[in-house]
């Protein structure tokens, strides 16, 4: 079994506000800080390694499902699942756009790796 990559205590975190089917969500994306040398040098950021999603209306079914899905997405990343595989696995609308807030977050995973 593949080992889970444990994240460092300090991480970069960015928050993005999205709207999906009339519901507002906040998507948090966490990246590890990678040091060149002994951290006295420059710092760069690694790929997205964790995802948080919360709906505007806390403790609703949409909020709980979004949070649980984000936890699973984060674990998949930390166990080595490539971001493009996660994004491709999400359901899409007929026009190719993500069908869920989790799908929108997965699209950020792929964009963030470039």
Nearest in space to 26 (alpha carbons), one of 49, 48, 58: 58
Within 10 angstroms of residue 53's Cβ, the number of other Cβ atoms is: 24
**Mean pLDDT computed over 94-110:** 93
- What pLDDT does 34 receive? 78
- What pLDDT does 46 receive? 84
Each residue's pLDDT tens digit, 40-66 = 667 778 889 999 999 999 999 999 999
For helices 61-78 and 101-112, angle between their N-to-C axes, nearest 10 degrees: 30
Each residue's pLDDT tens digit, 5-49 = 888 777 889 999 999 989 999 999 999 877 765 566 677 788 899
- What pLDDT does 75 receive? 95
Cβ density class 85-110: b for 16+ within 10 Å, e for less? ebbeebeeeeeeebebbbbbbbbbbb
């Amino acid at each position: 079994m593949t080992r889970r990559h444990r994240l460092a205590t300090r991480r970069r975190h960015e928050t993005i506000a999205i709207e999906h089917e009339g519901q507002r969500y906040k998507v948090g994306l966490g990246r590890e800080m990678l040091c060149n040398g002994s951290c006295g040098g420059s710092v760069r950021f690694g790929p997205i390694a964790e995802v948080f999603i919360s709906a505007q209306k806390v403790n609703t079914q949409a909020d709980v499902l979004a949070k649980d899905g984000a936890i699973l997405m984060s674990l998949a990343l930390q166990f080595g699942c490539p971001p493009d595989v996660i994004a491709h696995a999400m359901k899409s609308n007929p026009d190719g756009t993500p069908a869920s807030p989790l799908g929108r977050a997965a699209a950020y995973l792929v964009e963030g790796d470039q």
